[in-house]
Amino acid sequence: SQKIEQNSEALNIQEGKTATLTCNYTNYSPAYLQWYRQDPGRGPVFLLLIRENEKEKRKERLKVTFDTTLKQSLFHITASQPADSATYLCALGIGGSQGNLIFGKGTKLSVKP
C-alpha cells in the first residue's frame, strides 16, 4: 500500500541545536516534495520545495535533502530557536499535476530555551 510517514509525532530539542525531521514514503514516485510549517489553529505556510532530480535545497537556516533511492526526505533547521516551534508537514507531489499532493501527518517540533 502507499504510505507517507513522518518519523515522529513530536521532537524536542535544545535551542541552538540542529533539528532533523524525516519524511519517508513507500510505493510513490513523487515528482517533487514540499515542506510546510503549521502553527496551532493556523493554516500551513510553504517553506521549501525539492524536485526529484535535486539532492539538496537550502533557504537561510533550512536545508532539505531528497533521496529517491531511500524514498526519504530530511528537513534540517540549524541553530534552532524557540520561534521555530511548530508542526512541520511534508507533502509529496505525485505526477506533477494539480491536486495530487499527499500530506504526512506532521512532526511537532518544540525548541526549548
Measure the CA–CA gap between 69 and 64, rounded to whole angstroms.
16
Nearer to another protein, 17 or 58 (CB): 58
Nearer to another protein, 9 or 15 (CB): 9
| In the complex, least distance from residue 75 CB atom to another protein, rounded to whole angstroms | 16
Cell numbers placing 30: 513523487
List contacts with another protein (CB under 8 A): 4, 9, 32, 34, 36, 41-46, 49, 89, 91, 93, 96, 98-99, 101-106
Q: Which of 11, 15, 35, 22 is nearest to 72 (CA)?
A: 22
| In the complex, least distance from residue 43 CB atom to another protein, rounded to whole angstroms | 3
Radius of gyration for the chain, computed over Cα atoms and rounded to the nearest angstrom: 13
Sign of CA dihedral 106, 6, 32, 37: positive
Nearer to another protein, 46 or 55 (CB): 46
Nearer to another protein, 9 or 56 (CB): 9
| In the complex, least distance from residue 17 CB atom to another protein, rounded to whole angstroms | 27
| In the complex, least distance from residue 99 CB atom to another protein, rounded to whole angstroms | 4
Measure the CA–CA gap between 19 and 1, rounded to whole angstroms.
30
Q: Which of 77, 30, 19 is nearest to 54 (CA)?
A: 30
